[in-house]
Amino acid sequence: MVNNIDKEKLYEAFRSRDVRFDGRFFVGVSSTGIYCRPVCTARMPKIQNCTFYQSAAAAEAAGYRPCMICRPELAPGVFETDASSLLAKRAARLISENCGSCLRLSDAARTLGCTSRHLRRVFEKEYGVSPVKYMQTCRLLMAKSLLSETDLSVTDVAMASGFGSIRQFNHTFRQQYNMSPLALRKNAGNPEKAEGTITITMSYRPPYRYREMLSFYEARAIPGVELVRDGSYYRTVRMETDDGKAVCGWLKVSHLQKDNAIRLTVSNSLLPVMPKVAWRIKMMFDLFCDPEFVAETLKSMNRIRPGLFVKGTRIPGAFEPFEVSVRSVLGQQITVRAAGVLAGRFVSRYGTSIETGIEGLTHLFPAPETILCLEGNVEEHLGPIGIIGSRARTIRSLAAAIKDRSVLFESYADPSEEKKKLLKIKGIGPWTADYIAMRSMGDTDVFLGSDAGVKKALMGKDPKESEELARAWSPWRSYATVNLWNSLGGNT
């Protein structure tokens, strides 16, 4: 529960229905037994009936049910650097991405390098609930989204959301929400239907420079794997279920500007990994960003040149760690276009063909295992497609690091620690390590001072002067870097 000293201020924020506060707190209303987002359009309750919570999980743990009008499951997540505890933040990311799996607290603690007891203690202090309750809320809200927006059967919804059985799902849902899953679906109305696909909506805090994000992905799209068309992003997907079964398909991301949201559409084949897919898209399109927080620090960039910083800029993330790591190695000291050509050849030679029914989506990106299984010297295999020996060896080392998890590339990794490990791989320098951390690990504080585009945007300032400028932009230097790229107006 949020400190009641701030109750009047929070109530005024709730009354304003300002989108800047969306997802930053939730309001439990004792007279109705429901909890709402700060942007809810329902009748305003009296202040004495309101209790404020720092997370949806905390509101549900207090016995409140989610509002059917504002739908708390659509709220943007809490911005990562809000957490005073790095460990709690990393744990929340790990739980959110894996809520559809059978992840246990002991497994999470082992992954994060701590004891279960310590993890539980710091997590409860930061989020107001235990990790187990937090995961339960993640599962319930994913289920609520699927029930409201798709025509999937209740059984499919239960399994996709991480519940072990339909019986467990029905019991938990009734206990927490005081209604059956079918009753919620009836109240939600008729969802949009498209044969062979599943579609859900995910909100962000405006403004959002969607066009610039799309331009970034379009310039770096890997032929056969990704494409940008008619204002939407498409890609092929391969993931593994808990039992190691490969799941393949495709996805599409489009923009709902009037709703301050993006729409994620996936092929039905990806239902078993739906929570993981949704989480990666949230990271890839930086839906957790709070533009107001970032602007407070980065608006000073406009002293260098008017319009250099534009509020709403996001960090382009990565859906697949190995893919973006290989792409970053191929892009060393060559143009974006040339790196794309090499990536296309790499996919054509070692990727797996897939039928998507979408023109241009033809291949899955090569898995690390594919590269590790190449016989003999890797440079003999990659050399004929134009990848020089040193980079071929680096790609193989990256494949090994991902396979044996000697380096964690996921969003719950500690970027500062993982960058140290990356730098020990021959062929990975500071630029590449920082670029991977920014895109794959969601590091918000990367300044790519040696990048050619950044140098050009800073109009030839020497490295020492650029680094001095960038210090004032911490902890949002990744956003500063992207703003500098965007200011060039072309493919950087």
The pLDDT of residue 192: 63
Catalytic residue among 22, 36, 70, 414: 36
Tell me which of 242, 243, 451, 462 is the catalytic residue.
451
How sure is the predictor about 98, in pLDDT bands with cuts at 50, 70 and 90? very high
In the residue annotation, 242 being an active-site residue is answered as no
User: In the predicted model, what is the mean pLDDT of residues 169-182?
Assistant: 93
**Model confidence at 376, in pLDDT bands (50, 70, 90)?**
very high
Contact 212, 315 (CB under 8 A): no
How many residues are recorded in the chain? 492
361: nearest Cα among 237, 489, 199, 193 = 237
Residue 485's pLDDT is: 96
Band of the pLDDT at 84, cuts 50, 70, 90? very low
Q: Are 345 and 223 in contact (CB under 8 A)?
A: no
3-state secondary structure 289-356: CCHHHHHHHHHHHHHCCCCCCCCCCCCCCCCCHHHHHHHHHHCCCCCHHHHHHHHHHHHHHHCEECCC
Cβ partners under 8 Å of residue 484, min gap 6 = 308, 453, 454, 457, 458
Average pLDDT on 175-183 reads: 92
Cβ pair 45, 31 in contact under 8 A: yes
Would the pLDDT of 394 be above 50?
Answer: yes
pLDDT in tens, 416-470: 999 999 999 999 999 999 999 999 999 999 999 999 999 999 987 888 889 999 9
Q: What's the rounded mean pLDDT across residues 310-325?
A: 97
Instruction: Give the pLDDT of residue 195.
Output: 78
What CATH code is assigned to 4-74? 3.40.10.10
Q: Residue 3 pLDDT > 60, yes or no? A: no
Tokens representing 194? 């498209």
CA distance 361 to 222: 10
pLDDT at 83: 41
pLDDT over 90 percentage in the chain: 84
Tell me what pLDDT residue 154 has: 94
Q: Judge whether 80-149+152-188 and 199-487 match in fold.
A: no
Q: What is the CA radius of gyration of the chain?
A: 23
Looking at residue 82, its pLDDT comes to: 44
3-state secondary structure 151-218: CCCHHHHHHHCCCCCHHHHHHHHHHHHCCCHHHHHHHHCCCCCCCCEEEEEEECCCCCCHHHHHHHHH
Beta-bridged to residue 253, according to DSSP, are 233, 264
Show me where the domains of the chain are located: 4-74, 80-149+152-188, 199-487
In this prediction, residue 193 carries a pLDDT of: 65
**What pTM did the predictor assign?**
0.90
CATH of domain 199-487: 3.30.310.20
Q: What is the mean pLDDT of the chain?
A: 92
Torsion of CA 49, 55, 59, 62, to 10 degrees: -120
- What does the alpha-carbon distance between residue 331 and residue 329 come to, in Å, rounded to a whole number? 5
Is-catalytic flag, 50? no
Higher pLDDT, 323 or 21: 323
> Over the stretch 215-264, which tens digit does the pLDDT of each residue have?
999 999 999 999 999 999 999 999 999 888 999 999 999 999 999 999 99
Q: Which of 144, 232, 124, 149 is nearest to 184 (CA)?
A: 144
Single-letter amino acid code for the residue at 360: G
CATH fold label, 80-149+152-188? Arc Repressor Mutant, subunit A (1.10.10)
Q: What pLDDT is attached to residue 420?
A: 96
Give the residue with greater pLDDT, 89 vs 256: 256
What is the spatial distance between Cα 318 and Cα 217, in angstroms, rounded to a whole number?
A: 10
Q: CA 392, CA 398: separation in Å to the nearest integer?
A: 10
Say how far apart CA 153 and CA 129 lie, in whole Å. Answer: 30
Place of tokens 């296309």: 344
Q: pLDDT tens digits, residue range 40-62?
A: 999 999 999 999 998 899 999 99
